[in-house]
Structure 1
């Protein structure tokens, strides 16, 4: 019994620590992007291409992680993900141009993709009871690190080391090197095998033919594209639309992640009580409405950018809980199928946002007022993704309600 508790503690440390590092690695890019753009003279479209190509690494990882975990085990899959993030930090520090920056980010997102699928499989195998609550608590640690990530990143970039500033290169190197921490307990943990419990048997062929699987993909894709876009573009939006300082804009992003994190901590029991699909429907609609309000009210309504975090936060973990319950026999396959297609949506979404901003700006001319219109159009697209996430829940809810024993 003592060994079981110790092993369970080790597994929780790896899962929660993994999500902490995941949040840091993804959300320090907000304050880093303007510095990268300035150093390499990048346009908004090039930033969009950077984020889109990075998502290809994430997509590639999603396509093989389930198979990898079967071949080498979920333990070594997680260790490989953490190691990839460490090397990405080293290569990012050494990058000399746009091409090498893309390659470094590609490796980072490759590691992030392996880590995300791996953590999802680990969590689904560990959290058998109160799945919605525990999934949200696990992802709470992602939000916890995301709160401080923008401010930490901006602060570290200004640190004076030797004869100059640490900059975005040194900041990434130090933060990504922290991935060594969860590798150590992973070496000693015993990770559970896949459950053979209640739920539908899962295969890729069956998922391709299942309308519920595709609706879940749509829900997750629209929701996560909106979530990730806020982390990537909010600081840039506030700096360029309202002429905010990097510090002030980063503080707003941190407030977004504070509300985002608190939402995941407290919303979990609600999702278990009222149902996963209905929860996603209501919260994603809240996020979309708040983002639209922030855009159309203007600078005085900027607080609604942060409030949107309350609604967008539960989407990903609640969808993971839905997958864990509905496809308990083959949850790794279900997660891989869903998140792989999510990766495709992320590539398209990141690319479209940058293109929309550039297109609208150039269509109306390159004046300051027209640049703001371009930024607003890009952010309306981000809000629209959250609204579409909510709308896709309607047919999903109806189908699951009519199927005998369906998880809703």
Structure 2
């Protein structure tokens, strides 16, 4: 074949692959973060209380972890292309079912299906990224996750905007909003369908089984790095506004503005710091960035209200952790990336559940020491909870340091 023709075909296929991953991450961000404006309306329509809502979200998290656990098996048996198309198709189908759900049992089942699709999609996109970003891996992984951060930022705004629209005299409700947003999952199915993805043809004898991978100390260090890093990352969205309102008596607009600055720092870090991770090395980057995030968090707590900006600056350090860990996995386990990613992300999900539970327990436990002054107890409790968030980033840095030493000793430093 003429080399020029071959090159054009390769470039076209690579463009289709990148479109699948980048648009896929945009859809992933939408599907995970449109629920905020919809939840009060869902509660009102079905007459469910907070406990029922919490149970619904917990079951969905279980569905997410369940999907993470079987996606690697499906990938090995049916191929990453089939799994990707199934994940996107399942999410689009769940949008239709949510739209049609008039009873709470049907809605909860449809919502559960959406989270199954979310779990499959997270693993599928990670595997796709590991397979196609063989050059400038840190840069490309961070860029891909930047699209997730971007769509996550605008998803609540778009969802609220849709639910305020009036079309042909009817106001768009939350069911129609889910139908419209999840129907966007069809878009990345087009480049996925026309792409060729390498890796599915790897013979079984060339793969290392999971039982052997689990004997690798480096794998468990990666699990700990990702778990503590993600707890520190995800906790900010849940606790920062609450902290600023109750500890410093900020109004909602000001507290939400600081959260927006955090996400701005977060998104810019993923957009701009990828080349840095490629240049200085992935493991060294993890040490520096997670350590920076932890130090910013502690600085914010110790300096009081005037140092609140450091809460937002912590986003610069914590943002590249997840995509950089994915780059480590892609390079360290090239033939077993599907198995390694599924195992690591599943363990991370369990660790995240435990970590978020501990934050709440630490806040409540600390408040108990100040029964005579409930306001002071609340402030100290929130501070203690945020200390744990910063501590998670520091532990992430320490685990990264151990991984650095482990890999350097074996001559496998990335």
TM-score, normalised to structure 2, is: 0.83
Report the CA distance between 1:61 and its aligned residue. Answer: 1.2
Q: Which residue of 2 aligns with 1:229?
A: 235
Report the CA distance between 1:220 and its aligned residue. Answer: 0.8
Q: Contact 1:34–1:236 at 8 Å: present in 2 too?
A: no
Q: Contact 2:227–2:351 at 8 Å: present in 1 too?
A: yes
Equivalent residue in structure 1 for 2:28, among 22, 26, 43? 22
> Which structure has the larger Rg over C-alpha atoms?
2
Q: Contact 1:95–1:104 at 8 Å: present in 2 too?
A: no
> Are residue 325 (structure 1) and residue 331 (structure 2) matched?
yes
Aligned residues: 402
> In structure 2, what is the Cα distance between the partners aligned to 1:34 and 1:296?
36
Report the CA distance between 1:126 and its aligned residue. Answer: 0.9
SS of 2:214's partner is helix
Question: Structure 1: any 5+ residue segments left out of the alignment?
Answer: none
Equivalent residue in structure 1 for 2:68, among 62, 65, 78? 62
Equivalent residue in structure 2 for 1:289, among 288, 295, 301? 295
Equivalent residue in structure 1 for 2:398, among 383, 386, 391? 391
Change (3 A) 1:102 1:367: farther
> Are residue 9 (structure 1) and residue 15 (structure 2) matched?
yes
Q: Which residue of 1 aligns with 2:263?
A: 257
Q: Which residue of 1 aligns with 2:272?
A: 266
Change (3 A) 1:92 1:82: same
Q: Contact 1:120–1:335 at 8 Å: present in 2 too?
A: yes
Q: Which residue of 2 aligns with 1:212?
A: 218
Q: Which residue of 2 aligns with 1:42?
A: 50
Matches within 5 A, 1:281-360: 281-360=287-366
Q: Contact 1:49–1:350 at 8 Å: present in 2 too?
A: no
Report the CA distance between 1:181 and its aligned residue. Answer: 1.6
Q: Which residue of 2 aligns with 1:140?
A: 146
Report the CA distance between 1:315 and its aligned residue. Answer: 0.6
Q: Contact 1:287–1:311 at 8 Å: present in 2 too?
A: yes
Q: Which residue of 2 aligns with 1:189?
A: 195
User: Could you give the per-residue CA deviations for residues 263-308 of structure 1, whole angstroms, max 9, x where no partner exists?
Assistant: 1122112112221111111111112222333344444433323211
Q: Contact 1:201–1:330 at 8 Å: present in 2 too?
A: yes
Q: Contact 1:81–1:115 at 8 Å: present in 2 too?
A: yes
SS of 2:273's partner is helix
Change (3 A) 1:322 1:182: same
> In structure 2, what is the Cα distance between the partners aligned to 1:146 and 1:407?
33
Change (3 A) 1:310 1:193: same
Change (3 A) 1:170 1:305: farther
> Are residue 278 (structure 1) and residue 284 (structure 2) matched?
yes
Report the CA distance between 1:157 and its aligned residue. Answer: 5.1
Change (3 A) 1:6 1:104: same
SS of 1:381's partner is helix
> In structure 2, what is the Cα distance between the partners aligned to 1:174 and 1:370?
45
Change (3 A) 1:186 1:37: same
> In structure 1, what is the Cα distance between the partners aligned to 2:189 and 2:23?
10
SS of 2:135's partner is coil
> In structure 1, what is the Cα distance between the partners aligned to 2:73 and 2:299?
43
What is the root-mean-square deviation of aligned Cα atoms in Å?
Answer: 3.4
User: Could you give the per-residue CA deviations for residues 31-77 of structure 1, whole angstroms, max 9, x where no partner exists?
Assistant: 6667778974427xx87766554332222111111111122221221
Higher deviation after alignment, 330-339 or 360-369: 360-369
